[in-house]
Amino acid sequence: MVDILHRIGAEHTTPEQAYESLATLEGLSGWWTENTTGTTDVGGRIAFKFENGEFEMEVLELEPGERVLWEVVGGDVPEWIGTKIHWDLRREGDYTVVLFKHEGWREPIEFMHHCSTKWGSFLMSLKQQLETGTGAPWPRDVHTDNWG
Amino acid sequence: MVDILHRIGAEHTTPEQAYESLATLEGLSGWWTENTTGTTDVGGRIAFKFENGEFEMEVLELEPGERVLWEVVGGDVPEWIGTKIHWDLRREGDYTVVLFKHEGWREPIEFMHHCSTKWGSFLMSLKQQLETGTGAPWPRDVHTDNWG
């Protein structure tokens, strides 16, 4: 099993605001995909749609200002099904630190390389949303390669 | 052992040009750090200096237009010593694809999360250099968190 890891730090915000960006449809729509629907409570399911794919997450854990955990339970990307996405938040000086882990890939296939760079780019979109109020969610996302 | 993986695709360039960005001091200075010195032949050592740290790589393999392999042999970042950095290049339609692997981390420590996002950001700098002629090497690099 292999994991994708990332870390961003955002200024001019708080772990509570970062939590809102991860635990509400409005927040998620502002940095990952504008097409975010579903229920964000524990046990709820959130659907994230992009031009060529969709992910459905079940919300496993929520600790306001501290932690969000999802499991990928549906969608049309078989490599993601059963993987988990961890978000850990904390204050460090003037920064809100977001630790990210996309855990449980079966193999380090080329698509995992793509997803790692794309996650990094979307985390920079989250940082931008937290610092300026405006992120770059799909369809306004930064292109990292030829796989969209 | 755990690895950092990334993938970018650049338009308006070729695998040969991407190779020049990885196998010459001028190319490397244009997207990673302006303070790049040393010898880029196989068996040579390249030093990459940043504000708060330095990495020294030995060039293990060079295949023009296809592949570059480094081993981290010195510098002041103990977590990197002994790790390897793989660059694989190929053409795919209108894109030059760069597959990246920073292999052999002993533990998935928080610093590895930081380095993963920072590598992604520097790979986007490489993409920008290849597509526009101007990357964002240190000290003009994009800040991803409070660790510089």
A117, A109, A1, A142 alpha-carbon torsion, rounded to 10°? 20
Q: What is the pLDDT of residues A82-124, one digit of tens each?
A: 999 999 999 999 999 999 999 999 999 999 999 999 999 999 9
Contact between B121 and A120 using a beta-carbon 8 Å cutoff: yes
Give the pLDDT confidence score for residue B48 in this predicted structure.
98
Containing B87, the helix (H) or strand (E) segment is strand B84-92
Classified as helix, coil or strand, B28 is helix
Q: How many residues does chain A have?
A: 148
Residue-number span of the structural domain to which A65 is assigned: 2-132
Residue B144 lies in a domain: no
Identify from B7, B122, B126 which residue to disrupt to test chain A contact, counting A C-beta atoms within 10 A and taking the largest count.
B7
**Long-range contacts of the stretch A12-15 (C-beta < 8 A, 24+):** A12/A130, A12/A131, A13/A96, A13/A130, A13/A131, A14/A65, A14/A91, A14/A96, A15/A65, A15/A66, A15/A89, A15/A90, A15/A91, A15/A96
- Tally of domains in chain B: 1
Q: What is the mean pLDDT of residues B71-83?
A: 97
Q: Which chain A residue's Cα is nearest to B124?
A: A144
Q: How close is the nearest chain A Cα to the Cα of B147, in Å?
A: 8
pLDDT value at B93 more than 80 = yes
Q: What is the mean pLDDT of residues B82-96?
A: 98
Asked if B100 reaches chain A (Cβ–Cβ under 8 Å), the answer is: yes
Contact between A112 and B5 using a beta-carbon 8 Å cutoff: yes
Give the pLDDT confidence score for residue A148 in this predicted structure.
73
pLDDT band at B148 (very low <50, low <70, confident <90, very high): confident
Give the pLDDT confidence score for residue A115 in this predicted structure.
98
The partner residue sitting opposite B97, judged by closest CB among A7, A99, A145, is: A145
Contact between B145 and A112 using a beta-carbon 8 Å cutoff: no
Asked if A88 reaches chain B (Cβ–Cβ under 8 Å), the answer is: no
Asked if B97 reaches chain A (Cβ–Cβ under 8 Å), the answer is: yes
Contact between B110 and A117 using a beta-carbon 8 Å cutoff: no
Residue A141 lies in a domain: no
Strand A35-38: give its sheet, edge to edge. Answer: A2-10, A95-105, A84-92, A67-75, A53-63, A45-50, A35-38
A113 neighbourhood in chain B, CB within 8 Å: 5-7, 99-101
Q: Tokens standing for A36?
A: 């975010």
Give the pLDDT confidence score for residue A11 in this predicted structure.
98
Give the pLDDT confidence score for residue A142 in this predicted structure.
97
Q: What is the pLDDT of residues B53-69, one digit of tens each?
A: 999 999 999 999 999 99
- ipTM > 0.85 (yes/no): yes
Give the pLDDT confidence score for residue B23 in this predicted structure.
98
pTM listed for this prediction: 0.98
Asked if A79 reaches chain B (Cβ–Cβ under 8 Å), the answer is: no
Give the pLDDT confidence score for residue A105 in this predicted structure.
97
Ranges of chain A with pLDDT below 70: none
The partner residue sitting opposite A116, judged by closest CB among B97, B110, B116, is: B116
Q: Which chain A residue's Cα is nearest to B145?
A: A9
CB pairs under 8 A between A and B: 97
Residue B8 lies in a domain: yes
Contact between A6 and B100 using a beta-carbon 8 Å cutoff: no
* Whole-number average pLDDT of chain B: 97
Q: What is the pLDDT of residues B16-49, one digit of tens each?
A: 999 999 999 999 999 999 999 999 999 999 999 9
pLDDT value at B96 more than 80 = yes
Residue B80 lies in a domain: yes
d(CA B66, CA B44): 19
Give the pLDDT confidence score for residue B69 in this predicted structure.
98
pLDDT band at B52 (very low <50, low <70, confident <90, very high): confident
Classified as helix, coil or strand, B68 is strand
Asked if B86 reaches chain A (Cβ–Cβ under 8 Å), the answer is: no
The CATH number covering residue A68 comes to: 3.30.530.20
